């Protein structure tokens, strides 16, 4: 994974039914290979999924560094995902893809949105803004409050 030439997966993409973790793995793979670019492994979004799953970010990075295939990495994270109920995962996924900026991050969010898509005031969640920034299609939402 070379994040100086391509984007990590969307927050929305699922690994073993869970959003965010695939993107986190992509950033870990890029960091392990020295080409993470402008991305940050163990950023606040990664920390949230690590906390939800009970994964130590250093331990996952070590698995990423030594894995011979993606299947080994996915098998490792699956042991943590399997400890969550279907309801917990569904709730996490829904909350995570609709998570809105709060506090200090709101100003950063609005500035970035205004730079990349000033006409998309319907984009209120981080997952959608990252998709827009990475040139993915984001459906137009009904609500436009920010």
Predicted pLDDT at 141: 82
Same domain, 91 and 109: no
Confidence of residue 143 (pLDDT cuts 50, 70, 90): low
Q: Which long-range contacts (CB under 8 A, 24 or more apart) does 79-82 make?
A: 80/53, 80/54, 80/55, 81/15, 81/16, 81/17, 81/18, 81/21, 81/53, 82/16
Residues spanned by the domain of 73 = 21-97
Pick the closest to residue 42 from 22, 27, 52, 53 (CA basis). 27
- Do 23 and 11 meet the contact criterion of CB atoms below 8 Å apart? yes
Same domain, 92 and 138: no
Same domain, 29 and 78: yes
Averaged pLDDT, 68-72: 95
Its pTM surpasses 0.85: yes
Same domain, 35 and 55: yes
Q: Which two tokens stand for residue 49?
A: 């999924």
Same domain, 84 and 105: no
Same domain, 106 and 143: yes
Between residues 32 and 143, which one has the greater pLDDT?
Answer: 32
What pLDDT, in 10s, does the model give residues 25-37?
999 999 999 999 9
């Amino acid at each position: 994974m070379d994040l100086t030439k391509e984007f990590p997966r969307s927050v929305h993409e699922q690994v073993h039914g869970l959003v965010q973790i695939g993107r986190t793995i992509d950033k870990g793979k890029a960091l392990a290979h020295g080409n993470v670019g402008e991305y940050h492994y163990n950023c606040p979004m990664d920390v949230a999924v690590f906390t939800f799953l009970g994964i130590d970010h250093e331990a996952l990075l070590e698995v990423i560094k030594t894995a011979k295939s993606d299947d080994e990495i996915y098998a490792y994270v699956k042991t943590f995902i399997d400890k969550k109920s279907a309801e917990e995962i569904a709730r996490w996924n829904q909350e995570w893809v609709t998570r809105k900026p709060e506090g200090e991050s709101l100003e950063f969010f609005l500035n970035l949105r205004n730079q990349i898509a000033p006409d998309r005031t319907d984009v209120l969640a981080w997952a959608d803004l990252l998709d827009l920034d990475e040139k993915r299609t984001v459906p137009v939402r009904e609500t436009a409050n920010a």
